[in-house]
Amino acid sequence: MSDQTKQALEFIGKQIRELKIIQPHLLEAVNAILAKEQFYKWKKQVVALVGEKLGDGYRKRLSKDWLETAFAGADMYDELSDDIEMCLRHLYQLSQEIEAKGLQGSDETPST
């Protein structure tokens, strides 16, 4: 495994740990709208970091999945929970993909 792949996996692992730490705080927040806004800000930050550290193809994929997808529901906390679970799934999948195939070129859109 190359150093670049190891660094990519460490970066993704850090994001997974961070999301697991903030998840209960977001879901227990008194103000659901503020919690959703904070989580959206976190997603934008991670998408930008993914572009810097892993490449533009990965950034485009996460941007499409994370920033252009909305969960419609009656309960904002359920929507937020679904959104968090989706992000965790994507980070785990990304980690497994990079571990199995290595990093794709920075301009390539990695397969899903």
The two structure tokens encoding residue 105: 């070129």
Predicted confidence at residue 41, as pLDDT, reads: 94
pLDDT for the residue numbered 100: 93
Predicted confidence (pLDDT) per residue in 10-37, tens digit: 999 999 999 999 999 888 888 888 888 9
Residue 50 confidence (pLDDT): 95
State yes or no: pLDDT of 108 exceeds 70. no
Say yes or no to pLDDT of 95 above 70. yes
CA-CA distance, 14 to 49, in Å (whole number)?
12
Q: Tell me what pLDDT residue 85 has.
A: 94
Q: What is the pLDDT of residue 105?
A: 66
Residue 92 has pLDDT above 90, yes or no: yes
What pTM does this model have? 0.82
Q: Which residues contact 32 (CB under 8 A, 6 or more apart)?
A: 76, 77, 80
Please say if the pLDDT value at position 96 is more than 70. yes
CB neighbourhood size of 67 (10 A): 12
Q: What is the mean pLDDT of residues 59-82?
A: 84
- Count the Cβ atoms, other than its own, within 10 Å of residue 102: 12
